[in-house]
Structure 1
């Protein structure tokens, strides 16, 4: 956990899902536009503004609902590692930038050892604009609910 006087911090959470790691990774990279369909109470739209889905340098705009408000996040994909099933995106515009100088989101999915399901690790690396901004743990329930919605959607396709 970050020191309260520090503006920079990192937090992460792990979510167990039933879907295979490959399917979740594919949804998180090449099929992000389908997240709104899979988790409509969290995400209203995901649009590609530049580049190609699942590629470094692509620009994606998310319309989402958090803390009772419609919000927007524009992010640039910085890392795509199919071997590690990892994607890192930097938020460059939108509501989060009102509170943070920088906000990096890394999502990695790994298969469970027993071969049943997967674990999604969500990691935030951020710098707050000042010490009055809270650490972004309030985003975890939102992301956990979205991940579970995507999981249910992927499992219903089986």
Structure 2
């Protein structure tokens, strides 16, 4: 089968009650995710660079479909004007199924709220690997937790 059939994208959007600037700041500096969504994100550790900067390397420990998993990524881009973040996953459970996996997040201002758009770009190792839809479902759920966390008094 052609190599291109293994490549794909999955996208989702969710509206949350938090300003886009705060959403981007939170995602680019992810150390507070375990406080915000403790049932899903158990820890985020910095392994290189500085929190909130391009080139930072973080390890994420999370729960997916009832199982603990881990992932390591490098922050490739943070665009404050367009409120976007790109992370390249380089190690962890995701890489058992994917040759490459990129995470993109964009926070689009919508009044006092944000429309948060997530895009995964990936290349599967083989045709038996499913699209990462269950991971995206968790992503949108976490975004709602982020909105609640950022708007607490």
Determine if the alignment matches structure 1 residue 68 to structure 2 residue 66. yes
TM-score, with normalisation over the residues of structure 1? Answer: 0.92
- Tell me by how many angstroms 1:148 deviates: 0.7
Counterpart of 1:25 in structure 2 is 24
- Tell me by how many angstroms 1:85 deviates: 1.0
Counterpart of 1:120 in structure 2 is 116
5 Å matches for 1:6-155?
Answer: 6-30=5-29, 32-112=30-110, 115-155=111-151
Distance 1:96 1:41 in 2: 19
- Tell me by how many angstroms 1:135 deviates: 0.7
1:47-79 per-residue CA deviation (whole Å, 9 max, x = no partner) reads: 111001121111010000011101000001111
Question: Where do 5+ consecutive residues of structure 1 fail to align?
Answer: none
For the aligned residue pairs, the C-alpha RMSD in angstroms reads 1.3
TM-score, with normalisation over the residues of structure 2? Answer: 0.95
- Tell me by how many angstroms 1:116 deviates: 3.0
Deviation beyond 2 Å, 4+ runs, structure 1: none
Question: Where do 5+ consecutive residues of structure 2 fail to align?
Answer: none
Q: Which SS does the other structure have where 2:5 is aligned?
A: coil
Distance 2:129 2:59 in 1: 23
Q: Which SS does the other structure have where 2:43 is aligned?
A: strand
1:68-117 per-residue CA deviation (whole Å, 9 max, x = no partner) reads: 101000001111111111110010000000000000000110101xx131
